Amino acid sequence: MKSTLLVCLVVLVVSAEKNYDGYKVFRTSPLNATNAELLRDIRLSSNLDFWSEPGVGRQADIMSPPELEDSVTAWLNKMGIPYHTMVKDVQQLIHETRPVAKRSVSESGSGMDWEDYHDLDTLNAFIQELADSNDWASIINIGKSYEGRDMHVLALTKAGAGAPNIWLEAGIHAREWIAPAVSTFIINELVNNYAAHPEYVDNFNWYFIPSANPDGYAYSWEHDRLWRKTRSDHGSILGCKGVDPNRNWAFHYAESGVSHNKCQETYCGPEAFSEVETRNIRDFVQTLEPVPVLGHCFHSYSQLWLWPYGYAYNAYPENRAEIQQLAIDASDALYKVHGTVFDPINSADLYPASGASDDWYKGVLGTRFSFTTELRDTGKHGFVLPSQQIIPSSEEMWAGFEVVINTLLNL
């Protein structure tokens, strides 16, 4: 089966919007060590799109094109891996969750709300509005993306020079639309609801990028809803574009959980920081003084509050006890809002993967706390989460985030 997949899994070149008619997502039963290792090999050596990581004791979600359905299911059966169909038609799911048409930014201000998803122009217009209406907020251009898009950071610097810094990163994986949505909700709460908790902004300087992968995010809106990577060109003979920007950071780079296949979703690039987007973020956060006390990354999906390190099993930061406890406390607070269960675990316990930004923030930049939150859901919709879940997802995440902020205030 493995050799069959390697032969059959070719890249589909699309000129307009990629269509996922007939694509299905299969969910396995919880995996044992043997089956998890088998699926990891398939993930890293083929072009199958794994929607979730094949970890021990966890389910794996595998998207299959219609022409490979029989091969994939036959192999799962042969290996004795139980599964069921989680998504019967990916294109139908995309259609059902497509954002409604919006007025242009020029007609409606930014047009930002949390009742639907928003494109890159709206995200940037929103943070510009916040900067324009608050003298303690500003926009910092940290450079351009591969395709020439400006990468904008919102800075909230009311606390002033020398105060602790907090860095928030969202959207490094393009298709995870809930990540920019929830993170902008948090920023809106900090700024437009400042009066409810002034100490959050008075005591910390905040720096936030709503789309750490702007080219990929734009491409996911215009051409391929499930695009994950950047849009760079590294000379693939099959025309495959992009690098997984969350495997491209120079901390234990390419040691685990990455692919060197340029067509694979977890392609780590030819070298660490090969991507201009990751270099721009690296160069900017290294200018922050003092070093941020917190680096937080928003992702989806699986409902996890992950703490470092993720590059290997049993690799822990020096302050493991406090960072693990804070993940537990935040997840407990989050649960109380809508009863949503987040699992606070070490990143490698999900699946070892190196070159991630949260590991770099902790291991190289030197943040005291570094987290990745994998937002809703646990698989019914996966990356194509309905817009009706944006607000409840944001509300529960804000409750968890308040625990983090209040802990930092009490340090």
Residues catalogued as catalytic: 374
Are the C-beta atoms of residues 58 and 350 closer than 8 Å to each other? yes
Those residues with Cβ within 8 angstroms of residue 148's Cβ, 6 or more apart along the chain or in another chain: none
Q: Tell me the sheet residues that pair with 170.
A: 298
With CA atoms as reference, report the closest residue to 328 among 344, 339, 316.
344
